[in-house]
A and B are shown apart, each in its own frame.
Chain A
């Protein structure tokens, strides 16, 4: 496991 996206990748700012 090397990759982990961050929250803004999943939930963009509206």
Chain B
């Protein structure tokens, strides 16, 4: 028996909004420690790693490890049926063909249950090593979303150049170019808006706007985003999910011919 309950369905709604443009389907690995998802987009250029710890749920029970292949589009449709104040419970048997989503209104007068068929999926699990990054930038997630949106109008790629002084985002296209520079915050008292850079070595890499635009769909999950960058390895774009876990997006850099 697997059962996981969240008082706020809005967290799960936001998680689905943050992955539905990248993933068609994904395997949800459920164990005692929580729920983990690792999935690549169709082109295998990006990877989503989602972790929801069991202690972050209001109720969590997982008698044996489960791998549940789920259609992200169907799951997203189901979660749209939950009210923002509803409690959500995921429930499955030990060898499940289906998973149930149960929504309960805060006054307990409405109970809705949606059952979704699981998908048999070939599991392709990649080993992501612990990596020490040359630059780690912490900044407002809203500011990052805005920069991605603004610069995407000018080119297909955004170049991120990070030095000790700050971080510079550049897009160059046929119609012109755009760049935004953010200086490291001197007084980081306003923590959420601060730009904090931990740098060992300056880096400069380019990434596809199309994927970055998908990643910033996670903005409602967290007021801060963390970008980890090293030359010649994938960018990591990380959003915390309250006290329950985090979502990390990995994106392969563009390589200059």
Contacts and interface: CB of A to CB of B under 8 A. Distances in A.
A2 B250 CA distance: 19
Interface in B227-257: 233-234, 250, 252-257
B125 A13 contact: yes
Nearest to A11: B126
B39 to A, nearest CB: 10
B124 A13 contact: yes
Contact of A6 (B157, B206, B252, B256): B252
Interface stretch (B43-51, B80-88, B94-102): B43-51
Contact of A14 (B45, B127, B257): B127
B45 to A, nearest CB: 6
A13 B44 CA distance: 13
A14 B125 contact: yes
Nearest to B233: A10
Given A10-B233, A10-B234, A4 B126 contact: no
Given A1-B157, A1-B206, A7 B126 contact: yes
Given A10-B234, A10-B252, A4 B128 contact: no
B214 to A, nearest CB: 15
B125 A3 contact: no
Contact of B257 (A2, A7, A11, A13): A2
Contact of A1 (B127, B234, B256): B256
Given A10-B233, A11-B126, A3 B257 contact: yes
A11 B126 CA distance: 6
Nearest to B129: A11
12 contacts: A1-B206, A1-B257, A4-B255, A6-B43, A6-B44, A7-B46, A7-B250, A8-B44, A8-B126, A9-B252, A11-B126, A11-B250
Interface of B: 40, 43-47, 124-129, 157, 206, 208, 233-234, 250, 252-257
Interface of A: 1-14
In the A-B complex, the 4 residue pairs with the closest CB atoms: A14-B127, A3-B255, A11-B126, A6-B44
